Chains A and B, each alone.
Chain A
Amino acid sequence: MLNFLQTSVNLYYFVLVLFLRDDVYLKFLVFSSKNFYSQSLYLWVHMSIANFVKKICNNLGKNNKSTYSVVAIAAANGIFRPTFTMLKKDADPESKKYAALREGLTEAVAIPTYLICGELAAKCGEKLAEKAADKELKAMELNGKVLSDKAKEIFRNSKIKDSKASLMLIGVCLAAGLIIPALCSAVMNPVMARITKKNNKNTGLDIKENSFGNALPKQVLNTNNVNTFGNVKYPNLTSRPSGMKVGGV
């Protein structure tokens, strides 16, 4: 019992040390307890978290790609937006499910599109930079500037790296402003229709037309403002006809 209490206290101190304060006093409390397990756990977690963060920092410092941030945001949006939608208390459960599914799918379309567009643009950047670097090096040689092989390689590599990074951002922006909205407009409605149809078959429910009539709030009920999937009518919850979801609303 005493051991259990001591371990609990040590764990509490360990959490304090790890997340709140990293001063000598708290470290002393952990290590003076002579509890081997809490000491080892403290050291292991502290070291592994710190090393993990250091590795990420090093990689991001050396090579930060535009796709990393947009994919991370899209992934977070894909998790948080449907969660927030499902947590809304005043909305109809079926409406919530539909809206959350649509939001999740929008981000699921966005992630691969960002990656593909970014990488394709970077490839183009690489080819462009290679040609330009060769031309510039030839021009330098013609002007009588003597460069060592190492200097040439550094010049070429830096040109290629910078050009790739710039074009990757352009690719990501193209995806965000043009390709993803177009893809969502084209793909979202048929995909949603298939998913909802499949779900209805699986549940085996006999849902009649306009069966949501009594369940939905008045604002979303509108005879023309509905999407029809098979025998079921779903309200156009976002008041938005295109495939995208009006962000966060």
Chain B
Amino acid sequence: MISAITNVLTNPVLVNVVKSTDATVAAKTAVNSVGRPGFILADNNISSDTKKFAASKEFLYQACCLAVYMAVIVPVFKKGGFKLAKSKIFKNTQGFEHFDSFSEYTQYRKIADILDMEQRNQKLKELTAKNKVNFGRALIQELSKDVPDKFVDVKGAINLSNLIGSIVGLSIIAPKVSTALTTPALKALGLDNKKANSFQAKN
């Protein structure tokens, strides 16, 4: 039982997702969009109209934040962060010289994370045959080592840019965008702040 749970927890795909900033932020926002409205709906001290209004507002706000984050912030900051780190901060060193884009590094990392060398070589051949990867000699040599270099600085630069993007996106941009979108959406759903308040006043 414990082994089964640990196998799920240590699954390479899950671990890769868990260790990336954007996935953490997306998971947290998705949980917020369910948990917070749920808590409002579970509150027995308020009228049903107020509950509906507050829960819908919270759900729409979190959903907007998630959409803005995934659609705009992640791609912009991932690409921008990689380019900035490659050219300005690391000046094409510390592994940046091997990769032209962030997606190329992601492909490399997927293969490098495979512990078994035979499986790793098989995966590399498979992806090369499909023309999905086109690594240079240095990277192929690296992948044939017992423990290939994972170029943590590249990963770290992407994580840092994602972290900055998350802060800018979720604390500054997304609240403004979702405030502008939620009010008309709530009206379209027939949920109005005044209606909720007047209902509460009557009771």
Q: B15 interface residue, CB < 8 Å from A?
A: yes
Contact of A219 among B46, B175, B193, B200 (CB under 8 A): B193
User: Are A241 and B46 neighbours in the complex by a CB distance under 8 Å?
Assistant: yes
Q: A50 interface residue, CB < 8 Å from B?
A: yes
**What is the size category of the interface that chain A forms with chain B?**
35 or more
Select the stretch in B119-127, B129-137, B159-167 that faces chain A: B159-167
* Chain B residues whose C-beta falls within 8 Å of the C-beta of A133 in the assembled complex: 6
**What is the size category of the interface that chain B forms with chain A?**
35 or more
CA distance A72 to B88 in the complex (A): 24
User: Are A73 and B194 neighbours in the complex by a CB distance under 8 Å?
Assistant: no
Which chain B residue shows the least CB distance to A248?
Answer: B175
Which chain B residue shows the least CB distance to A218?
Answer: B194
Contact of B2 among A68, A132, A166, A241 (CB under 8 A): A132
CA distance A239 to B20 in the complex (A): 36
User: Are A172 and B21 neighbours in the complex by a CB distance under 8 Å?
Assistant: no
Contact of A64 among B65, B159, B196 (CB under 8 A): B159
Q: Check A247/B6 contact, CB under 8 A, given A69-B21, A69-B25, A165-B19.
A: no
User: Are B31 and A177 neighbours in the complex by a CB distance under 8 Å?
Assistant: yes
Contact of A54 among B3, B89, B167 (CB under 8 A): B89
Q: Check A61/B156 contact, CB under 8 A, given A80-B172, A173-B28.
A: yes
In the complex, chain A residues 29-64 whose Cβ is within 8 Å of any chain B Cβ: 50, 53-54, 56-62, 64
Select the stretch in A91-99, A123-131, A206-214 that faces chain B: A123-131
Shortest A65–chain B CB gap in Å is 9
User: Are A248 and B2 neighbours in the complex by a CB distance under 8 Å?
Assistant: no
Q: A224 interface residue, CB < 8 Å from B?
A: yes
* Chain B residues whose C-beta falls within 8 Å of the C-beta of A196 in the assembled complex: none
CA distance A224 to B2 in the complex (A): 53
List, sorted by A's number, 12 A–B pairs whose CB atoms are closer than 8 Å. Answer: A57-B89, A64-B155, A64-B159, A77-B171, A125-B9, A132-B6, A163-B6, A163-B10, A166-B9, A169-B27, A176-B31, A222-B200
Question: Chain B interface (Cβ within 8 Å of chain A)?
Answer: 2-3, 5-7, 9-10, 14-15, 18-21, 24-25, 27-28, 31-32, 34-36, 38-40, 43, 45-46, 50, 53-54, 57-58, 61-62, 65, 85, 88-90, 94, 115, 150-157, 159-160, 162-163, 166-167, 170-172, 174-176, 178-179, 182, 193-194, 196-197, 200-201, 203
